[in-house]
Amino acid sequence: MQIGNYIKILFFSLFLTFNAHAQHGEVKSEEKTSEKQEILDEIKEVKAHHLADSHDFTFVSTKEGTHIGFPLPVILWDNGLKIFSSSKFEHGEAVAEVAGNHYKIIHHKIYKTDAQGQVAEEHGHPSKAAAVLDFSITRNVVFILLVGLLMLWMFTSLAKSYAKNNGMPLGIGRFLEPVIIYVRDEIAIANIGEKHYKKYMPYLLTVFFFIWILNLLGLTPLGANVTGNIAITAGLALVTYLITTFTAKKDYWKHIFWMPGVPVPMKIALIPIELLGTIIKPFSLMIRLYANMFAGHVVLMSIVGLIFIYKSWVGGPLSFGLAFFLSILELLVAALQAYVFTMLSALYFASASEEHGDH
């Protein structure tokens, strides 16, 4: 009987030990899952912050809620002009009171609220009555102004170097001149022709360097995803559309409203199709640039996030290597997207300026 009792006690002890280890393993597994979920949430927050526009310029943010950066001016029209600093929002965590009105940032947009920050809703979303006209100097606007000033300095320096050195570029002009010649010869003249290309060259050069530099700055740690913002690409596409429309010759409109060389019933049927084509062209410009740059930033930041998820000697280096390779690839994409946008704009200008005698 004593041996049987000892065996029972032994099995019972083993059962308790196994059960304790199992429970301890479950606790550890739950802790790891919770930690991984926190990392995933933090990565999503960083991606959302980088991809979206912002009313302040933040360099570093810590888990404790400390933000290192500087505020930007907020300019609203709400029954009059309201100008104040974005520091009143405390990085989106507070309600700003201005002249008796209250405003809050909700999903990166400013809405009019009550004193407690509650906004009027319609179908689960802020109502139109809560919306205000926002003309603020956001992070994207800062980068646009920065690139504009940089381009002004670059081309002014190039012009001065030509004047001082008998038509020979100096300094940064030695880099700019081959690129300008390439845009002129391989994009403008090759597509528009020598007869009409000169009047489009200022815009083609501007949009090429503007998109290229913004794409490059977007790859830096402090950069903003300007060309990955559909409002920016829509504005660029709209400018191309307006230039095409207002510089078009009569043959361009003749091919749209009364296609030569086809039967009359077919001419009538082609009118809505051709008109739709004039709208689809700038729409494709907008979507192509936006989708490529937005997707590139999402993929790159997701792979960088894998370094913090897989904390191992295998996963970390592999994720870092892949992120480094994609960063190099994004440098090529930055120039390629500027080239594609400029090339397609030149093609649209060519169709607008082409005359019947040019065939």
> What is the per-residue pLDDT across 89-142, written as a single tens digit (0 to 9) for each?
887 788 888 888 889 888 778 888 888 888 877 776 787 778 888 899 998 999
Nearest CA to 196 among 353, 39, 335, 62?
353
How large is the average pLDDT for residues 322-331? 83
- The total number of structural domains in the chain stands at 2
**Distance between CA 32 and CA 26 in Å, rounded?**
10
Domain that holds residue 63: 56-134
Model confidence band, residue 17 (pLDDT cutoffs 50, 70, 90): very low
pLDDT tens-digit series, residues 282-291 = 999 999 999 9
How large is the average pLDDT for residues 251-275? 81
Domain check: are 124 and 264 in the same one?
Answer: no
- The pLDDT value recorded for residue 32 is 56
pLDDT at residue 233 greater than cutoff 80: yes
Assigned domain for 19 exists = no
- Provide the residue type at 308 as one letter: F
pLDDT at residue 156 greater than cutoff 60: yes
**Distance between CA 237 and CA 342 in Å, rounded?**
11
Phi, psi at 116, each rounded to 5°: -90, 0
Q: Which domain-ending residue is among 101, 134, 167?
A: 134
Domain check: are 271 and 330 in the same one?
Answer: yes
Assigned domain for 240 exists = yes
Nearest CA to 213 among 287, 240, 205?
205
Model confidence band, residue 232 (pLDDT cutoffs 50, 70, 90): very high
**Distance between CA 340 and CA 345 in Å, rounded?**
8
C-alpha distance across the termini of the chain, in Å? 111
Model confidence band, residue 54 (pLDDT cutoffs 50, 70, 90): confident
Domain check: are 107 and 157 in the same one?
Answer: no
Domain check: are 129 and 153 in the same one?
Answer: no
Model confidence band, residue 311 (pLDDT cutoffs 50, 70, 90): low
